[in-house]
Amino acid sequence: MEAVPQTRATALAIGGLAPHRMRRQRLGDTLFRGTTRGFALGVLLLLGAIITALFVGSLPAFRAFGFGFLFNSSWNPVTENFGALPAIYGTVITSFLAMLLAMPLAFGVAIFLTELCPRALRRPIGVLIELLAAIPSIIYGIWGLFILAPFLQTTLQPALIASFGRLPLIGALFGGPPLGLGILTASMILAIMVLPFIASVSRDVFQTVPAMLRESAYAMGATTAEVVRDIVIPHSRIGIVGGVMLGLGRALGETMAVTFVIGNAHRIKASLLAPGTTISATLANEFTEAVSQLYTSSLIALGLILFVITLIVLAAANYMLWRLSGETT
Amino acid sequence: MKGVGLYAQRRATNFVILSLSMAATAAGLVVLFLILGALLWHGIPALSGDLFTRMTPPPGSKGGLLNAIYGSAVMTAAATLLGTPVGILTGTFLAEFGRGSRLAQAVRFVNDILLSAPSIIIGLFVYEMMVVPMGHFSAWAGTIALAIIVVPVVVRTSENMLTLVPASLREAAVALGTPQWKMVVMVVYRAAIQGMLTGVMLAIARIAGETAPLLFTALNNQFWSGDMNGAMANLPVVIFQFALSPYADWQLLAWGGALLITLAILTLNIFARLVASWSSFAK
């Protein structure tokens, strides 16, 4: 280490390091800090870049169809008349049904894991349920197509048609032949896929309920079900809604599993047994086959719509879960 | 004895609700085992030497999944190598430098959204940014799409793990006159290495089965290709195409591929959890 005479005094004053070393260290710190900040900014910009790219890509479609694109229910590649309504309808209805099916199951799992399960089994069962989330979408698709759909076609669907098909209003929901593939099957697959997300968030928020509250209720003679209904659920309401929204965000954008079992028909039918389509399934099926610019652009416009919907849902979900973590810590 | 009647009724309600919650859990587990069972049932007959040594065949002739396995491995590895440093550096910013700052809050919020954003949208984005300008599908485009999915997973876990490192370790390093970057790299990273490794493994498990982002980027290739600039076969897209085909031998290969991918992912997932539970600060 060479000393630089004229600045030796200052160097000694700030800790005895030679000034060029000090400067090098500062430079190193600034560089490191700057690099990490740069990458963080990059993540931020990525979201903007995605929206911009989708917007630019969908301009031709919006120019050709205007806002009517959102409400047009035809999808005809030959005459190049495209509308998003059937895909939006399919996306919303499958996700809605999936949440309807998944929520009670997920809360059941969360209640079981926090209130009922022997301590030694909590972790293994929790992990097994979470493994449902690790299975890739395409595996659910292949399972849904070859196992679940034929099973539903011969069991649940004929039963539904026989018992509800003739009722005045509800009958329309269960009309038509049992095809196996369709809105209902897609919703059931989606329900299985979002179950672990809702269950694990619910379990985590149930666990944040202070033991004292719970024990007080038990000491008053409340049953486990009453403790859950009157103490645990009211205390973790925001977290539960956040978890449900998170699951909804997943369900809306789920692609491969739905593509396998939805039947891919650009039609809006009242019956839940009828085939339909979703935005993501339309993209997966048609994007590589779209030849004309307007066709491609309409598909990208569908993608933009999907992204905006999921963005809103996920932002709301994260906001709620954040407020919660701000409260408890 | 009205009180006893009410008590019996409350006990009955309790019993019904708890039974239902147990049934819900059982249903979840049964579905998991049904899926794994179906994969084993249909997938094991497809496992043979051919599966690992031959290319994807035209319908009606014998073949395997060698090119698809290779393509998946290459793209997953490249995407992990690209995405991990970005994720770790961003996580470092959030945990070390940006605590409480507006930028960090915004990044955290956006990252949580990207974590659950539909992967098919990422595929569309990369199609617009790379495939259109380049004029053709390529393994690089597929790699970038997967890397974009890796980043938020790694950001999230590395931030969490770095935040768990006790402040006293940092203070001890700083008190010795260590520059900040050296403190982070030599002390904090070392303390959190297991946790960050878990994040990377979970990210690999996440992208190994991703199909949607590869459909418009890497596409597929029936032949052996080591060219990252061209379309490349990969397991998920091959499974997608073969499963939906009318040919029994293609469907069999699809089941074989599905079994391979699921076993790999579940193993990785369980292993990642084990590593996380060894980690000294998690808990």
The distance between the two most distant Cα atoms of chain A, rounded to a whole number of Å, is 100
Whole-angstrom distance, CA of residue B91 vs CA of residue B115 = 14
- A249 to chain B, closest Cα gap in Å: 7
**A76 in helix, strand or coil?**
strand
Residue contact B93–A132, C-beta within 8 A? no
The answer, for B272 touching chain A at a CB cutoff of 8 Å, is no
Preferred mutation among B17, B40, B269 to probe A, highest tally of A CBs within 10 A = B17
pLDDT in tens, B164-218: 899 999 999 989 988 888 899 999 999 998 889 999 999 999 999 999 999 988 8
Note the pLDDT tens digit of each residue in B50-70: 888 888 888 878 888 999 999
Contacts of B152 (CB under 8 A, 6+ apart): A43, B87, B111, B112, B114, B115
Minimal CA separation from A55 to chain B, in Å: 10
Minimum CA–CA partner of B236 in chain A: A138
Choosing among B4, B15, B31, which should be mutated to test the A contact, i.e. which has the most A CBs within 10 A?
Answer: B31
Q: Is A121 on the interface with B (CB under 8 A)?
A: no
pLDDT at B277: 79
**Closest residue of chain A to B240, computed from CA coordinates:** A138
pLDDT at A3: 43
Q: What is the pLDDT, as a whole number, of residue A249?
A: 93
Considering only alpha carbons, which residue of chain B is nearest residue A37?
A: B93
pLDDT score, position B121: 95
Structure pTM?
0.90
Distance from the B26 Cα atom to the nearest Cα atom in chain A, whole angstroms: 9
pLDDT in tens, A94-132: 999 999 999 999 999 999 999 888 989 998 999 999 999
CB contact under 8 A, A225 and B17: yes
- Give the one of B23, B35, B112 whose C-beta lies nearest to A139's C-beta: B35
Whether A127 and B270 lie within 8 Å, measured CB to CB:
yes
Confidence at B227, pLDDT banded by 50, 70, 90: confident
Please check the confidence at residue B156 and state whether its pLDDT lies above 90.
yes
Question: Chain B contacts of A35, Cβ < 8 Å?
Answer: 89
Q: Residue written as tokens 């909804």?
A: A248
pLDDT at A20: 79
Q: How far is B25 from chain A (nearest CA, A)?
A: 5
Interchain CB contacts (distance < 8 Å): A and B = 271
Angle CA(A83)–CA(A313)–CA(A88) in degrees, nearest 5? 15
DSSP state, residue A113: I
Residue among B15, B270, B267, B103 at smallest CA distance from A34: B103
The rounded percent of chain A whose pLDDT value lies above 70 is 93
Q: Is the pLDDT of residue A302 over 80?
A: yes
Task: Please give the ipTM for the structure prediction.
Answer: 0.91
Chain B contact present for A273, CB below 8 A: no
- Other beta carbons less than 10 A from residue A217's beta carbon: 18
- Reply yes or no on whether the pLDDT at A5 is more than 70: no
Q: In Å, how far are A55, A66, A97, B82, B111 from B92, measured between CA atoms?
A: 32, 44, 40, 16, 14
**Cα separation of A211 and A207, whole Å?**
9
What is each CA distance from A77 to A72, A151, A297, B46, B155, in whole angstroms? 14, 34, 12, 38, 41
Query: Tell me, what's the pLDDT at B283?
Result: 44
Is residue A61 very low, low, confident or very high in pLDDT (cuts 50, 70, 90)? very high
Cβ of residue B228 closer than 8 Å to a chain A Cβ: no
* Model confidence pLDDT, tens digit, residues A139-148: 999 999 999 9
Closest residue of chain A to B215, computed from CA coordinates? A284
Residue A11: pLDDT above 90? no
Lowest pLDDT segment from A180-194, A278-292, B268-282: B268-282
User: B146 at the A interface (CB within 8 A)?
Assistant: no
Q: Does A251 touch chain B (CB under 8 A)?
A: no
**What percentage of chain A has pLDDT greater than the value 90?**
62
> What is the C-alpha to C-alpha distance for residues B103 and B90, in angstroms, rounded to an integer?
11
Query: Could you tell me which chain A residue has the CA closest to the CA of B202?
Result: A134
Show residues of chain A in contact with B29, CB under 8 Å: 125, 128-129
C-alpha–C-alpha distance, residues A40 and B87, integer Å: 9
Instruction: Say if B117 is an interface residue toward chain A (CB within 8 Å).
Output: yes
Q: How far apart are CA B85 and CA A250, in angstroms?
A: 26
Instruction: Using alpha carbons, list the distances in angstroms from residue B77 to A6, B81, B154, B189, B234.
Output: 53, 6, 15, 22, 13
Q: Is residue B134 scored above 80 in pLDDT?
A: yes
Could you write out the DSSP letters of every residue in chain B? -HHHHHHHHHHHHHHHHHHHHHHHHHHHHHHHHHHHHHHHHHHGGG-SHHHHHSPPPPTTS----HHHHHHHHHHHHHHHHHHHHHHHHHHHIIIII-TT-HHHHHHHHHHHHHHHS-HHHHHHHHIIIIIHHHSS--HHHHHHHHHHHHHHHHHHHHHHHHHHS-HHHHHHHHHTT--HHHIIIIIIHHHHHHHHHHHHHHHHHHHHT--HHHHTTT---SS----TTS----HHHHHHHHHTSS-HHHHHHHHHHHHHHHHHHHHHHHHHHHHHHHSSS--
For A257-261, B138-142, B271-275, which range has the lowest pLDDT when averaged over its residues? B271-275
Chain B residues in contact with A132 by the CB 8 A cut-off are 28, 31-32
State both tokens at A18.
């030679």
For position A78, what pLDDT does the model report?
85
Whole-angstrom Cα distance, residue A59 to residue A70? 14
- Do A138 and B184 count as a contact with CB atoms less than 8 A apart? no
Give the chain A residue nearest B239 (alpha carbons): A138
The answer to whether the CB atoms of A40 and B103 lie below 8 A apart is yes
Q: How far is residue B111's CA from residue B104's CA, in Å, rounded to a whole number?
A: 10
- A277 compared with A21, residue with greater pLDDT: A277
Interface of B with A in 184-213 (CB under 8 A): 184, 205, 208-212
Q: Is the pLDDT of residue B282 over 80?
A: no
Shortest CA distance to A192 belongs to which of A103, A279, A269?
Answer: A103
Contact with chain B for residue A281, Cβ under 8 A: no
CA–CA distance, B84 with B77 (Å, rounded to integer) = 10
Report whether pLDDT(B27) > 70. Answer: yes
Contacts with B, A 153-212, CB within 8 Å: 192, 195-196, 199
Distance from CA of B169 to the nearest CA of A (A): 18
Residue numbers in B near A134 (CB within 8 A): 205, 265-266, 269
Instruction: Report CB contact under 8 Å: B236, A138.
Output: yes
| Most confident residue range from A5-14, A188-197, B185-194, B272-281 | A188-197
Query: What pLDDT does residue A2 have?
Result: 44
CA-to-CA separations, A319 to A41, A296, A315, in angstroms, rounded: 20, 34, 6
Distance CA B119, CA B268 (A): 21
**Does A43 sit within 8 Å of B90, measured CB to CB?**
yes
Start-to-end CA span in chain B (Å): 50
According to the model, what pLDDT value does residue A326 have? 65
Q: Give the model's confidence band at A16: pLDDT under 50 very low, under 70 low, under 90 confident, else very high.
A: low
